[in-house]
Amino acid sequence: MIDASEPGTPDRTPGSLWQIGDVLRAKVPSVEHPVPEDSPGRCGEPGGVWVSLIVSVLAEAEPQFIRDEDGDSPAALFGEDGWWFRAKVRPATAEKAAPLLAEEASAARRRDLERRRLAEFAFGYGRIDDGEVPAEPDTSAAVAVPFGAESRRRGWPPDRLLVDQQAGVVWCGR
């Protein structure tokens, strides 16, 4: 089971949050719902209370309005009135989880590249562990790529980012 909430009033009934067959990442309490170790996208602390994984929606319960008069409403609505959504889920198959896992991997790669870009240009060069400076750099096949550092280093010579895709090399310089 997964749940979610939306603050609201009883006079406006919301639509569904999920459809049967939807594939999404969800956190489930591993104590109440044991999750197989080989579930797609499974992550979480070993022995932890919550496990995150890619799930497929099997059924959705009708949204339920919860009035929090005594502070014991579901955790998703703690301290406020609103709509409580619940859905029955199971671990997604590898095939159904593949597009979402690929999207997550791509986003993680972009975050890593952004971290490396900022580390390289934030305080000068040489901050990347696997970087090197060749004696005779050949940048003839490289293409200049704008990367946004110009606005952060006013008054300094402009940084340049050159990418030689065929050689698999990125040149950073002034």
Give yes or no for a contact between 169 and 142, defined as CB atoms under 8 angstroms apart. Answer: yes
Residues 146 and 107 in one domain: yes
Q: How far apart are CA 125 and CA 172, in angstroms?
A: 8
pLDDT tens readout for residues 91-148: 999 999 999 999 999 999 999 888 877 766 655 555 556 667 778 888 888 888 776 6
The total domain count for the chain is 2
- Judging by DSSP bridges, how do beta strands 160-164 and 169-173 pair with one another? antiparallel
Q: How far apart are CA 171 and CA 132, in angstroms?
A: 10
Residues 148 and 103 in one domain: yes
Q: What tokens appear for 56 in the block? A: 């497929």
Residues 32 and 69 in one domain: yes
Residues 81 and 126 in one domain: no
Of 92, 123, 153, the residue at which a domain comes to its end is: 92
Residues 84 and 103 in one domain: no
Residues 104 and 167 in one domain: yes
Would you place residue 47 in the very low, low, confident or very high pLDDT band (cuts 50, 70, 90)?
confident
Of 76, 92, 108, the residue at which a domain comes to its end is: 92
Of 92, 109, 142, the residue at which a domain comes to its end is: 92
What is the span of the domain harbouring residue 86? 2-92
CA 169 remoteness from chain centre: 27
Residues 28 and 87 in one domain: yes
